[in-house]
Copies of this chain bind each other. A is one copy, B any other.
Amino acid sequence: MTYCVALKIDAGLVMLADTRTNAGVDNISTYRKSFTWEIPGERAICLMTAGNLSITQGILTRLCEAIKRAEAGESVETILNATSMYRVAQIVGDLMRQMQDEHRVPLLNQGVGADATVMVSGQRAGGAHRIYMVYSPGNFIEATPDTPFFQIGEAKYGKPILDRVITPQSPMNEALKAVFLSMDATLKSNVSVDLPLDLVVIRTGELAISVNRRVQATDPDWVAISTGWADALRASFGTMPDVAI
């Protein structure tokens, strides 16, 4: 399984991903699911992936190959020269469709799921900061002020805290706490989601990867929030009024 969450607040984009993959419960591995690119001052992009790992790795490999060919002087459109974040999402969607066309039927014939999802977050010079969610068919949707976050993978456990506290006006420190708490709730209830985590922040207008930090289980910020929240929930529970029966 996987849990990745991306928030779009006025102050910027906040992305948090776990690193656990599994093929059945007896085959567990650690893979990075969060990938960043930047041309400082021009654009910053973060992709987070969930679903069939061969599909998502194929998409990433083809994205990187195109970038290398463009760097070598070839005239090829890439996520680093696309004219808008919308075009970046289309490029990812097109590659998703290619991968699905090649592998979906053989995978399904073997009883293996081919579904995959990619969250595309970023900003380019002259455009707004945006988050897109690209689905298996290659179509995508964009986060809006009414629903300023996307989740992929095991989304339910970590959704209530986001529903309760996140709005586009949330300050950056609250957004960071919220994604940590959202991940904490997911880790507590689903063993197929696990540390270490990858935290990426792209501040609005910075046009660079502002933060790219790996969070280990012993990370003092993680421990402080995880244990602090457990204590606060127990204390809050104690203050709830009794139900009359």
Contacts and interface: CB of A to CB of B under 8 A. Distances in A.
Interface in A205-245: 210-211, 213, 221, 224-225, 228-230, 232-237, 239-245
Contacts of A67: none
B240 A232 contact: yes
Interface in A153-173: 156-157, 159-161, 163-165, 172-173
Contact of A240 (B160, B164, B229): B229
Classify chain A: how many residues form its interface, as a range. 35 or more
A70 to B, nearest CB: 31
A68 interface: no
29 contacts: A156-B156, A157-B159, A159-B189, A160-B185, A163-B189, A164-B188, A164-B233, A164-B237, A165-B234, A165-B237, A172-B245, A173-B242, A176-B243, A177-B237, A177-B243, A178-B237, A180-B243, A199-B243, A199-B245, A211-B245, A213-B245, A221-B243, A224-B241, A225-B243, A228-B240, A229-B236, A233-B236, A235-B236, A236-B236
